[in-house]
């Protein structure tokens, strides 16, 4: 996972720089969102990793899927990503791009993972605390992760606040093995 983030970082920074210069930050956001969603599809994962599918065929498949939904710049990025055999970085590229976008626009996106959906009051409480702590407007992105067992895992940029039962068990295991 960290390797994908490292591979995606230069692409995300370059795309964001282009987006700012061309004043089309939202278009790039939509393009990357579409490409990341397609990569996450199980059927596409099989196609991407199939050694019998050459780059030209793969490019044609992707362009057919994205027909009418992807900007010309997005198509060029897609072709370059396919040429460099980096399609699997798309979700990480999207995440990093969204982080750069948030910084540029003065807000921070915080991901809260929980084994159950949070109530609106809980989300607002967390948002208020984080806004005071970080001094920026907070946008919450909630995900469900049943493996946490209970509690929350809060991620913002490089910071992780692990208040999950799973995290506490891992910490206890580490301390006991010393």
The last residue of a domain, from among 67, 100, 133:
100
- Say yes or no: 85 and 138 in one domain: no
Question: What pLDDT was estimated at residue 98?
Answer: 87
Average pLDDT over residues 75-80: 94
Average pLDDT over residues 80-101: 91
Residue whose entry in the numeric block shows the structure tokens 């990793």:
49
Token reading at 128 = 């208020």
Average pLDDT over residues 45-59: 92
| Domains contained in the chain, number | 2
Task: Give the full edge-to-edge strand order of the sheet including 151-156.
Answer: 137-144, 107-114, 151-156, 159-164
What are the DSSP E strand ranges found in the chain? 107-114, 137-144, 151-156, 159-164
The pair phi, psi for residue 66, each rounded to 5°, is: -90, 5
């Amino acid at each position: 996972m960290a390797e994908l983030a490292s591979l995606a970082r230069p692409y995300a920074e370059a795309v964001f720089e282009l987006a700012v210069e061309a004043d089309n930050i939202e278009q790039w956001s939509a393009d990357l969102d579409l490409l990341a969603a397609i990569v996450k599809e199980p059927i596409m994962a099989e196609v991407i990793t199939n050694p019998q599918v050459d780059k030209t065929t793969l490019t044609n498949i992707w362009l057919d899927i994205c027909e009418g939904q992807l900007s010309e710049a997005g198509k060029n990025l897609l072709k370059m990503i396919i040429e460099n055999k980096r399609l699997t970085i798309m979700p990480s590229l999207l995440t990093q791009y969204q982080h750069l976008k948030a910084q540029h626009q003065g807000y921070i996106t915080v991901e809260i993972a929980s084994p159950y959906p949070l109530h609106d009051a809980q989300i607002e409480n967390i948002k208020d605390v984080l806004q005071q702590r970080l001094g920026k407007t907070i946008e919450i992105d909630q995900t469900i992760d049943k493996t946490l067992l209970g509690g929350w895992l809060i991620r913002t940029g490089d910071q992780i606040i692990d208040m999950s039962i799973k995290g506490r068990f891992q910490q206890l295991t580490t301390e006991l093995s010393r």
